[in-house]
Structure 1
Amino acid sequence: MEEICSRSRPSRSANVIAVCAVGALSALTIFGRHSNGLQTGWLLLDIAVAIVACGLIPVLSRHPVIGALAQAALTALSPAATPPSTVGTLTVAQRWPLKTAALVALAGVAGHLIQGLWRPIQGLDLLWYFVLDVAVHAALLGWGQWVQARQQLLSSLRERALRAENEQGRRVAEARTLERTKMAREMHDVLAHRLSLLATYAGALEYRPDSSPEKLAQAAGVIRTGVHQALEELREVISVLRDTEIDELPGGRPQPTFGDLAGLVAESRDAGTEIRYTESVAAPESLPPATGRTAYRVVQEGLTNARKHAAGLPVTLVVDGKPGDSLRIELTNPSTDEAQRTGVPLTPGSGTGLVGLTERVHLAGGTLDHGRAADGRFRLQASLPWPA
């Protein structure tokens, strides 16, 4: 409640504008009451009450209940206090709970009823005056409570949106960290493999010094080549955790390569996905293993998302490239809206798969773009460097 009050407090310029506007209404009220010449004896009292009641308007910004009650009391003395009292009742109804606002509105009703008893309006029956008095204050109370409820709802929605944004940011950060951790583990495995080979050949040189010069030269060459490869891989791990040549995953399971794309497509087709696959790749055997694995992951993630958000609908996959240029992958599938129109069930996703994939592609030196294309279909595009 304090947060709503502090947010609703008007500025100094708003207070000045409110005082001038309400003062003009009070002046019109005084003029209307005295235009027939029947209540000229109350003119000075009405002017004094109007000045005091309008002067209480700035008090409403910090002490709305006290200010509104004072204005309600002034309405018992003069109709000139009616416009300021209306503002006070509405202000309390917008900022305070229903019980407090109802008591302030009741005070306003009582003040106007007393005014109607000793300064009745000519031509208006007292009963109808009382009915109008209650109806106006009930309307002010309802309006103010509705505004307060709307402010609370908007505040709650803003907080929920902020929490969701923070949660999504946390999940994106976790996805990037997880992807980097996976790549670091892969690099650790291949580096350990290299060093174990070096240790084996170095041990052979140590324990078989009587080997032929040809075998010694061959072992020394293997060690030199292995050290060079290990240093290159270690430099990549330390710099950006870039994906490099990894023959096997932990546990001996082979890493996927570019040659496994056909199997991946066939597997998805067997699962019921209609895939239009076009491949135009020159000299695929010269594609670096790291680039091939990244390409495999791009296609794998694209097919996974297509099964989640457009299951049963056709997918188009185009892969082309050549050495010295780049390897380009484009995967398109119907959008979520089209899938919903065709009655395809949707599987909710966290959105972190594409985040991790983007991180992997960037670490491989490529680019990745995804989103809705001009024709409304979802498009996933990746470009990976392919040195000559």
Structure 2
Amino acid sequence: MPVRPAVISAVLVVAVLTAGLTVAETQATAGVLQWTLLVVGLAMIGSIAVRYRSPRVFAVLAVLGPLVSPVATYLPLVGVFVIATRRRAVETLPVLALAVGTAAVTLYRNVPDGPTVLVLLGGAVAFQAISVTAGLLTGIRRAMVDDLRERLARAEAERAVREEQARADERRRIAGEMHDRLGHRLSLLSVHAGALALRGDLPARTVRETARVLRDTTHRAMEDLRTIVQVLHEPTGDVPDEVDDLGAVEELVAEARAVGADVRLRSTALLTVSPPGRPLAGVVHRVVREGLTNAARHAPGARVEVALDGRPGRDLTVTVTSGPSAAGPTPEGAGTGLVGLRERVETLAGGTLTHGPTPSGHLLRAVLPWREETG
């Protein structure tokens, strides 16, 4: 039993026993039956320690205690208190009525003066009412404490669910980011492998250079794949090489040119004077990478133009246009890259994304709000 309930039980036992002994002293105790009833009364007082294990049984025995032994005269106060803490009128009212009846019988049996009996009975009823009120208030307080504990436990559980959901969302975001990078690398590999397959008259130096690019791109693709696997197992990780400025866009274009793609980058001079920083530069990088990946996958050999235009306080427009494919039909992608890109552009940056075929090829355009503080 915890220390605090044990201490409270001991205090109640001592208080009820002390008050009961003062009553028992006024009555003669002789014979085996009287001593037996005294022992029974002491046992009933001792049952205070287990009053909450069977509160209804204890309450009934407690209110009947004065009929058994005078030492249990004040035990009904504990009984009605315990039953009142349950806050059930169907239980409390019968026990209270039984306690008042027990008090009336006890007083009538031991006090010969009628007016005195009425006065003492009124006092007993008042004490019983105070005990019931205290029990009700205690029950209300316990219910409030239990409710607060339940709310706290529920809040902790909800917080844990939110944290787990946030980790899962971050894991999916990182995996999607690395998926797009890997798709970009594989598209470059496809372009190079296709060039080698179609051109049998390439000089040995060009073949060696192409093989070197294929090796380097494959190595980077493998690094991206390992990063995806690591992220799926360790959701606390983050995407490496976070984009800080538009220099990463120039690197993307240079990388595409290195594998033989016909890519042109056109941007206004203002972007050089006042380039956007995080997170806008990262979104621009994502749009350009998706555009180059789609162009390499669906229009290999076609000319691609990347255009950047805008100024702080207005919009930054990113446009990737590609011509029709010169190599015939190409396999369709899953479209997950554009889905993730739309979420990034519209949800994270608050912009708009449009894409689709044009009379001369394909168009991918993102219009991104460029706030002053991002510059």
Please say whether Structure 1 and Structure 2 have the same fold, judged by a TM-score greater than 0.5.
Answer: yes
Matched residues in 2 for 1:268 and 1:122: separation?
Answer: 100
1:28 to 22, 26, 36: 22
2:149 is aligned with what amino acid? Answer: R
**1:102-121, CA deviations, whole angstroms, 9 ceiling, x for partnerless residues?**
21111111111112223228
| AA in 2 matched with 1:243 | V
Match of residue 62, structure 2, among 65, 68, 71? 71
**Could you tell me how far apart the structure 2 residues matched to 1:263 and 1:242 are?**
15
Judged with a 3 Å threshold, the aligned counterparts in structure 2 of structure 1 residues 209 and 62 are, in CA distance, closer, same or farther, namely: same
* Counterpart contact for 1:22–1:54, Cα < 8 Å: no
SS at match of 1:232: helix
Q: 1:70 to 1:223 in 2, by over 3 A?
A: closer
Map 1:221-300; keep pairs closer than 5 Å.
Answer: 221-240=212-231, 242-244=238-240, 259-261=275-277
Deviations along 1:350-377, one digit per CA (max 9) or x if unpaired, are: xxxxxxxxxxxxxxxxxxxxxxxxxxxx
| Other-structure match for 1:178 | 169
Per the alignment, do residues 263 and 49 of structure 1 end up closer, same or farther by CA in structure 2, a change over 3 Å counting? closer
- Superposed displacement of residue 96, structure 1: 6.0
Unaligned runs of 5+ in 2: 232-236, 250-273, 281-310, 315-343, 349-372
Structure 2 residue identity aligned to 1:26: G
Displacement after TM superposition at 1:63 (Å): 3.3
Distance in 1 of aligned mates of 2:8 and 2:279: 71
Residues in 1 aligned to 2:199 and 2:129: alpha-carbon distance in whole angstroms: 104
Larger deviation: 215-224 or 147-156?
A: 215-224
| Structure 2 counterpart of 1:97 | 88
> What is the distance in 2 between the residues matched to 1:150 and 1:268?
60
Q: Give the Cα separation in 2 of the matches to 1:85 and 1:50.
A: 16
Sort the Cα spacing of 1:27 and 1:173 in 2 relative to 1 into closer, same or farther, 3 A.
Answer: same
Asked whether 1:154 is paired with 2:145, we answer yes
Q: CA deviation at 1:74?
A: 3.7
Structure 1 match to 2:191? 200
Kept in 2, the 8 Å contact 1:68–1:85? The answer is: yes
1:92 to 1:18, Cα distance in 2 relative to 1, 3 A? same
One-letter amino acid of the counterpart of residue 109, structure 2: W
In the alignment, which of 135, 140, 155 is matched to residue 126 of structure 2? 135
Amino acid at match of 1:141: V
Can you list the C-alpha shifts for 1:165-206, whole angstroms capped at 9, x where unaligned?
A: 111101111111111111111111111111111111112112
Secondary structure of 2:213's match? helix
Which residue of structure 2 aligns with residue 356 of structure 1? none
Whole-angstrom distance in 2 between the partners of 1:268 and 1:94: 68
- For the pair 1:52 / 2:40, whether they are aligned, the reply is yes
Contact 1:53–1:84, Cα closer than 8 Å, also in 2:
no
Q: Which amino acid aligns with 1:163?
A: R
Q: State the distance in 2 between where 1:107 and 1:129 align.
A: 17
- Aligned pairs, how many? 254
Alignment CA distance shift 1:143-1:189 (3 Å): same
How much is the aligned-residue C-alpha RMSD, in angstroms?
A: 4.1
Q: 1:46 to 1:80 in 2, by over 3 A?
A: farther
**Cα distance between partner residues in 2 of 1:70 and 1:227:** 85
110 and 239 in structure 1: CA distance in 2 versus 1, 3 angstrom threshold: same
Distance 1:103 1:224 in 2: 90
Over residues 98-144 of structure 1, what are the superposed CA-to-partner deviations in whole Å (9 max), with x where a residue is unaligned? 22122111111111111222322879733322221221111111111
Shift of 1:243: 1.3
CA displacement at 1:151 relative to structure 2: 1.1
Q: Distance in 2 between matches of 1:48 and 1:72?
A: 19
Larger Cα Rg: Structure 1 or Structure 2?
A: 2
Per the alignment, do residues 30 and 131 of structure 1 end up closer, same or farther by CA in structure 2, a change over 3 Å counting? same
Instruction: State whether residues 98 and 145 of structure 1, in contact with CA within 8 Å, keep that contact through their aligned partners in structure 2.
Output: no
Unaligned runs of 5+ in 1: 1-5, 249-257, 271-296, 302-316, 318-388
> Which residue is equivalent to 1:370?
none
CA 1:181 to 1:121, structure 2 compared with 1: closer, same or farther past 3 Å?
Answer: farther
Q: TM-score, normalised by structure 2?
A: 0.56
Structure 1 residue 69, shift from structure 2 partner: 2.4
In 2, the alpha carbon distance for the partners of 1:268 and 1:21 equals 81
Distance of aligned partners of 1:219 and 1:158 in 2 relative to their CA distance in 1, 3 Å threshold: same
Q: Distance in 2 between matches of 1:201 and 1:89?
A: 90
